[in-house]
């Protein structure tokens, strides 16, 4: 009989929670069509005077810099050293997300593999497996944060930057010198937050239902 391991179960709960969180954050980063859809939905060409292709090129260059480390640029749009330094900070956060995503996936696979080989059995706290607790915990956290953000998104947006870019104000762009802000309005970032929350809740629901289904089969 496999030894019941609380430590392995706790490790898997943490790894699964980090996995669904970092995966959810990566979705709007890597899914560029999500931004492209905003170009027409927000009528950005009419509002800015730039063509859809110019706007798309500016966004692509910024994302190439943040994700792949390509030289910084915003296409035909003006940019400043201050604006570039903010995106350099963003690049650090993006890479941190990808690293944690890969590491948490590796931990999940390692623990699953050891479990399948009979090294240990995952302890079921209160009769529920790690997937249930990871999904329930992450879902509860995102629902609380979503509720707070819904009360005052502008304040939440400012607080987010204060937490993740402490002591810096280069995220406050001047449209005259950093025109990229004109094609990346706050409503786009709000929709990114909604997408992240939606993907995370779907993943959490999958973990919870998978655990409940496994229990019924037993």
Encode 158-208 in three state secondary structure.
HHHHHHHCCCCCCCCCCCCCCHHHHCCCHHHHHHHHHHHHHHHHHHHHHHH
Q: What's the pLDDT score for residue 119?
A: 86
Sign of CA dihedral 203, 189, 14, 159: negative
| Predicted pLDDT of residue 78 | 97
pLDDT at 2: 66
Can you list the alpha helix ranges (DSSP code H) found in 117-129? none
Q: Which residues of the chain have pLDDT under 70?
A: 1-2, 215-218
Q: What is the pLDDT of residue 216?
A: 67
Alpha-carbon distance 186 to 61, whole Å?
A: 19
Please report the pLDDT score of residue 212 as a whole number: 87
Joined together, the tokens standing for residue 204 give 């959490």
pLDDT score at 214: 75
Domain edges within the chain: 4-217
Q: Output the pLDDT for position 217.
A: 61
pLDDT of residue 106: 98
List of long-range contacts for 152-159, beta carbons under 8 Å, 24+ apart: 153/186, 153/190, 154/186, 157/186, 157/189, 157/190
């Amino acid at each position: 009989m496999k030894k019941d391991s609380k430590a392995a179960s706790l490790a898997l709960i943490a790894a699964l929670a980090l996995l669904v969180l970092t995966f959810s954050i990566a979705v709007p980063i890597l899914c560029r069509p999500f931004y492209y859809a905003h170009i027409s939905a927000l009528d950005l060409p009419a509002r800015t005077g730039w063509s859809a292709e110019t706007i798309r090129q500016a966004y692509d260059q910024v994302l190439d810099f943040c994700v792949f480390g390509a030289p910084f640029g915003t296409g035909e749009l003006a940019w400043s050293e201050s604006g570039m330094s903010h995106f350099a900070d963003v690049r650090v956060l993006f890479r941190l997300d990808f690293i944690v995503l890969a590491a948490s996936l590796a931990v999940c696979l390692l623990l699953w593999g050891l479990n399948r080989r009979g090294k240990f059995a995952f302890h079921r706290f209160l009769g529920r497996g790690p997937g249930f607790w990871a999904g329930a915990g992450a879902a509860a956290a995102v629902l609380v944060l979503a509720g707070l953000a819904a009360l005052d998104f502008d304040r939440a947006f400012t607080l987010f930057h204060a937490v993740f870019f402490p002591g810096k104000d280069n995220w406050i762009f001047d449209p005259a010198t950093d025109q990229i802000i004109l094609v990346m309005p706050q409503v786009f970032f709000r929709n990114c937050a909604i997408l992240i929350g939606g993907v995370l809740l779907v993943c959490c629901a999958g973990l919870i239902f998978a655990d409940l289904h496994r229990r019924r089969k037993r």
